Amino acid sequence: MKLSIITLTYNNLEYTKKYIESLYKYTSDFELILVDNGSTDGTIKFIKSLPYDNIKTIFNSENLGFSKGNNQGIEIAEGEYIGFLNNDILLSPNWFEECEKVFQKENAAFVSPRHINPHYDLAKEDNYIKYFKKNYKYKNNYQKSFDECVFSCVVTKQNIVNKIGLFDENYKQAFFEDNDYKYRAIIAGYGIFVCNTVCFYHFGSITSKFLNQNLENNRSIYYSKYPFAEYLSISGVEKYNLQRMSRQFKEFPLKQIYSMYLFFIKLKNRLRKVLKF
């Protein structure tokens, strides 16, 4: 089994139907692990009616959140690679094969296709692939990028998960657990990449917009664990505020400080190994 795809569902059946159709159209040699977090809109009935023989299912009686749901999927995943894919996305041809090429060339922990979001882009659902080919031009086939590697559609490897562990379930429902996972991978010595040759179309926050009651608490957990994380991954309002304050931050040696921080993390890990012997 080359690839295990883990997808969480929580209502929004119409999006799940589109996702399943796209997944089977553009993906081969995979198993699909569907983890339902307590849907009440007919999603469970739909999942049970799917005619494919490569599907594993987990049905939770309540919404256990992004971290717990994905961890449940990881526990039964058998593929060499593991993909975390939202149920509100559409894929493009060869999306996994192109991401796999990055793993073959780089010491990568996570690779994501390029993200097309109708909230920010002019792409339409019926022409997003043509839109991507016309408007997304890059010098390189892939590049390192913490922010642009997004967990709406991302691939990792089973042996990497075995090394860095599962999602942190202290993050409730959704938000910041993905950044936490990427940050841990960087500390472990891996790179985070975005693949420039393929894309996915993300309808965007279809489920998570109703689960933002824990946003600030999750944010505080993240920054308490990783004090320098705000300089590594900055998005949304934070990115806007930093752009306004760019002169101040240009004068502040963030890169040097962060490099020293990573150095001491690695030194501490090495000392722990030496002391064990």
- The per-residue pLDDT for range 29-58, each reduced to its tens digit, is 999 999 999 999 999 999 999 999 999 999
Kindly indicate the confidence band of residue 118, based on its pLDDT and cuts at 50, 70 and 90: confident
- Domain 3-244 belongs to what architecture? Alpha-Beta Complex (3.90)
Buried b (16+ CB within 10 A) or exposed e, 137-156: eeeeebeeebebbbbbbbbb
Residue 251 has pLDDT above 80, yes or no: no
Buried b (16+ CB within 10 A) or exposed e, 177-203: bbbbbbbbbbeeebbbbbbbbbbbbbb
| Percent of all residues in the chain with a pLDDT value above 90, rounded to a whole number | 61
Mean residue pLDDT of the chain comes to: 86
229-253 mean pLDDT: 46
Amino acid at 270: R
Higher pLDDT, 183 or 230: 183
169-179 mean pLDDT: 82
pLDDT of residue 183: 86
Total length of the chain: 277
Residue 230 has pLDDT above 80, yes or no: no
244-261 mean pLDDT: 51
pLDDT of residue 262: 75
Residue 10 has pLDDT above 70, yes or no: yes
| Percent of all residues in the chain with a pLDDT value above 70, rounded to a whole number | 84
**Whole-Å CA distances, 103 to 1, 3, 180:** 17, 13, 21
